[in-house]
Amino acid sequence: MADLRRAFSFTLLSALLSLSSSLFADNQQLLQKVYDLSGLEKQFVYMGHTFTEEGLRMGRTELPDNEMSNQLLSRLEEGLSAKYAPERLKNTVQHVLARELDQANIEEIIQIMEGRIWQKAVRLENRANNPDNLSELEQYVSVQLQEKLPRQIRLDLIRDLVQKTNAVDTTMNMMVSGALSAAEIMMGSEKIPAQFEQSMRTQMTSMKAEYEEMVTRQFLFTYRFMSDEQLKTYVSYYNTPAIQSLNKAVTTSLVEAFQ
């Protein structure tokens, strides 16, 4: 009888472990699908390039033109390229998505993200974030928006999207993290003074209205090929608990990835 009980217990444990392993695999597949549908894969390539170039620009501005500076800039480029490597950013985001997303919401998130409106938004985001299209953005902001102001309904929808996605705070946090990363690499083993970060954050806070205007103009550019109805539908997704949880997870992951 004891042997029978042990055999039954072992069989039950094996079944539970097998079920747990199967559920984990299913969950990982769903999370991978969320990641694939998000369009972050391409955006990480663009963001990594942008933050590396911006860090190098900052370094060239701050350093004198001599051999020691050239060595520091080489170290800075190597460090930033490693920090913003797409694979590293991807691993961080996938870890945060697994930690933050509620299993009950994942299927609803995927259903929305597979839809025509969401996928159009992803294509437009990838197009707008491509560094090769930077001149197009500059021309739109400096010329087209000056010649013809957006209609009020359009502006209201874009401002609503900026607010619901928390894009301004996320942008500011990523920029602070990027500047701190560049400073850390250049200083090597020396610790960055706490007041340096505090000063940067205080400066960013004082410029929040300017960043909000900048992000609004960028969003007007990014989603300009969406009709009012399509944009209204896209914005409405951010009223759903599923997409709110996704946006929170992605925002958290971006901040963590760029720290």
180-211: pLDDT as tens digits: 877 777 777 567 778 888 888 888 889 999 99
Decide if 105 is inside a domain: yes
Decide if 135 is inside a domain: yes
Mean of pLDDT values over 119-127? 94
Range of the domain at 33: 29-257
Look up residue 231 and give its two tokens: 């944009």
Decide if 2 is inside a domain: no
Banded model confidence at residue 162, pLDDT cuts 50, 70, 90:
very high
36-78: pLDDT as tens digits: 898 888 888 887 777 787 777 777 777 777 776 777 778 888 8
Banded model confidence at residue 148, pLDDT cuts 50, 70, 90:
confident
Decide if 6 is inside a domain: no
* pTM of the predicted protein model: 0.80
Decide if 15 is inside a domain: no
Look at the chain and report how many structural domains it folds into. Answer: 1
Distance between alpha carbon 3 and the CA centroid of its chain, in Å? Answer: 56
Residue 132: pLDDT over 80: yes
Q: What is the model's pLDDT at position 149?
A: 85
Average pLDDT, the chain: 82
Decide if 65 is inside a domain: yes
Decide if 7 is inside a domain: no
C-alpha distances out from residue 35 to 24, 122, 185, 249, Å: 16, 12, 30, 11
Q: Exposed e or buried b for every residue in 2-29, given b needs 16+ CB within 10 A?
A: eeeeeeeeeeeeeeeeeeeeeeeeeeee
More confident residue, 24 or 31: 31
Decide if 21 is inside a domain: no
